[in-house]
Amino acid sequence: MFRTVLKQSAIIAKQQQKSLLFKTATTGINTGALRFYSAASTLSKDDITKRVIDVVKSFDKATAAKENITAQTTFHKDLGLDSLDTVELLVAVEEEFDIEIPDKVADELKSVGETINYISSNPEAN
Amino acid sequence: MSTIAALTKPQILNLYRQYIRTAKDFTSYNFREYFLRKARRDFRLYKDQIKTEEDALAKFNMIREELAILKRQSIISEMYTFDKLVVEPIKTPK
């Protein structure tokens, strides 16, 4: 009797494993909207600029020069953000455009304009 | 940051970035906002507090362990649904 119970639980475990595999396989394909990479990015530069500036404006630590944020605005000098704040702001930008900025790139981004340029060069941004 | 020599600045910033990203994964408003506050507070606090290299490394490893816990818990939190609180803004689709 003991053996049959063991066998049954083994079978169940196997089935669960299978269904798990199946699930991960399907979700692997269907993450987010499907867009072909051959299609040009639908974002225009003006659009990106406006959205980045909106994110910067809604970032509550950016105190100085809040009224006139342009592509030339730098995070440290003009907005008075330290390195930790800059990281936080960039995470907010990532969230807005549904991307993940790699660490090496993010450490180099120092102004609004550079951020806009990076996003327009990233085909995954939307 | 000059007190921390063994750890490089990008390393710490990367840890901070990961911490914030993970905190934002929480579906529950209370947890999410708490860990964001905690990240901001802790990193600033340690920046002023830390004087020696050993201290810095110890804190760095402590936060790394915290981050691991946070990652596991955020995944668990994604398995459950939470009702929106009244203080939460409702996101309109773009």
How many domains, chain B?
Answer: 1
Q: Which residues of A touch B43 (CB under 8 A)?
A: 84
ipTM summary value: 0.78
Evaluate whether residue B62 is within a structural domain.
yes
pLDDT of residue A9: 60
Span A27-56, average pLDDT: 72
Tally of CA atoms within 13 A in the half-sphere of A86 that contains its CB: 26
Tokens of B58: 């110890």
Task: Tell me if A107 and B44 make a contact (CB, 8 A cut-off).
Answer: no
pLDDT of residue A58: 84
> Where do we find the tokens 């009797």?
A1
CB within 8 A of B93, min separation 6: which ones? none
Tokens of B2: 């000059």
Return the number of CB contacts < 8 Å for A and B: 31
Evaluate whether residue B87 is within a structural domain.
no
pLDDT digits (tens, 9 = 90+) for A3-33: 655 566 656 655 555 555 544 444 455 555 6
Evaluate whether residue B92 is within a structural domain.
no
> Where do we find the tokens 């996101």?
B91
B33 versus A7: the higher-pLDDT residue is: B33
B50 is in which domain, residue-wise? 2-79
CATH code for the domain defined by A45-121: 1.10.1200.10
CB within 8 A of A91, min separation 6: which ones? B17, B20, B21, B24
Evaluate whether residue B51 is within a structural domain.
yes
**Is there a contact between B49 and A123 (Cβ–Cβ < 8 Å)?**
no
CB distance from A60 to chain B under 8 Å? no
Give residue limits of the domains in chain A.
2-37, 45-121
Closest CA to B19 of B48, B62, B83: B62
Q: Which residues of B touch A107 (CB under 8 A)?
A: 10, 13
Evaluate whether residue B56 is within a structural domain.
yes
If phi over 0 gives left and psi between -120 and 50 gives alpha, with beta otherwise, what is residue A52?
alpha
**Is there a contact between A83 and A61 (Cβ–Cβ < 8 Å)?**
no
Q: Is the pLDDT score of A112 beyond 70? A: yes
Evaluate whether residue B17 is within a structural domain.
yes
For residue B19, the tally of other CB atoms under 10 A from its CB is 25
Evaluate whether residue B36 is within a structural domain.
yes
Tokens of B40: 């901001």
Q: Rounded to an integer, what distance in angstroms lies between the CA atom of residue A80 and that of residue A66?
A: 11
Task: Tell me if B17 and A95 make a contact (CB, 8 A cut-off).
Answer: no
